[in-house]
């Protein structure tokens, strides 16, 4: 008979580390999907996921079972991704001069006829990826959660551990930062 999540957690807390594996198996797809929003290389994504699970194991005592385990785990995942972003700010200073051909084409199309530049073009996805890499870690996190994942400010506060006013301030700054980066990108390309 399959054990429930609460039973598995209780078993882990009683010293049966093997009972942690079914939890890892069940929730790893969500952890990996979230990690892939913030890291590109497979090795980095795997490191983040591993870190999340090790933290979850160590802090399992603090899980009181009031909210679903998945929510608790997602909070840990987002915070681990944020720590990763803070530790890997390598691409922020690079220039936009090395845009690929499809990216250049998409930008040109946007400049000449904005309505024809489609939203779901692969080039646009690459371009937004580049822009996101240049954002500061808090800006990258808040844009991802607020604009891309369409979460509410309250949800973001809960996930990140920031206060609601802080999320609002960081969202405001993140949008401004993104505009600045886009302005730099277009200036580098067209001036």
Partner 1 sequence: MNLAELQKKLIAAARTEVLDDRVPYAFEKRVGALLASRVAPENMDLWVRGLWRAAISCVAVALLCGAWAFFTPATTASSDDLSQNFETTLLASVDQNDQAP
132 touches partner 1 (CB under 8 A): yes
Q: What is the contact mask toward partner 1 in residues 95 to 124, using x (rule: CB under 8 A)?
A: ---------------xx--x--x-xxx--x
Calculate the dihedral angle through the C-alpha atoms of 61, 62, 68, 69, rounding to the nearest 10 degrees: -50
Size of the site for partner 1 (CB under 8 A): 46
Q: Which one of residues 6, 7, 13, 30 is an interface residue with partner 1 (CB under 8 A)?
A: 30
In the numeric block, the tokens 């051909």 are attached to 101
Token representation of residue 88: 């890997």
- Mention every residue, 6+ apart, whose C-beta is less than 8 A from residue 14: none
| Rounded CA separation 190/184 (Å) | 10
| Rounded CA separation 47/40 (Å) | 12
Q: Which one of residues 46, 91, 108, 188 is an interface residue with partner 1 (CB under 8 A)?
A: 46
Q: Which of 109, 33, 120 is nearest to 73 (CA)?
A: 33
186 touches partner 1 (CB under 8 A): yes
29 touches partner 1 (CB under 8 A): yes
Contacts with partner 1 by CB under 8 A lie at 17-18, 20-22, 24-25, 28-30, 32-33, 36-37, 42, 46, 49-50, 53-54, 57, 110-111, 114, 117, 119-121, 124-125, 127-129, 131-132, 143, 147-148, 150, 175, 178-179, 182-183, 186, 190
């Amino acid at each position: 008979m399959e054990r429930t999540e609460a039973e598995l957690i209780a078993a882990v807390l009683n010293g049966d580390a093997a009972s942690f594996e079914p939890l890892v198996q069940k929730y790893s797809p969500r952890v990996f999907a979230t990690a892939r929003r913030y890291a590109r290389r497979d090795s980095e994504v795997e490191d983040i996921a591993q870190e999340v699970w090790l933290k979850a194991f160590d802090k399992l005592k603090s899980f009181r079972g009031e909210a679903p385990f998945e929510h608790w785990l997602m909070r840990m995942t987002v915070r681990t991704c944020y720590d990763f972003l803070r530790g890997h700010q390598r691409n922020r200073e690079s220039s936009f001069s090395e845009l690929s051909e499809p990216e250049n084409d998409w930008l040109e199309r946007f400049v000449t006829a904005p309505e024809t530049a489609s939203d779901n073009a692969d080039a646009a996805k690459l371009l937004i990826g580049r822009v996101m890499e240049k954002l500061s870690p808090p800006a990258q996190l808040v844009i991802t959660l607020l604009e891309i994942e369409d979460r509410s400010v309250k949800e973001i506060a809960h996930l990140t551990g920031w206060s609601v006013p802080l999320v609002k301030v960081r969202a405001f700054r993140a949008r401004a930062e993104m505009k600045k980066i886009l302005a730099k990108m277009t200036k580098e390309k067209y001036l």
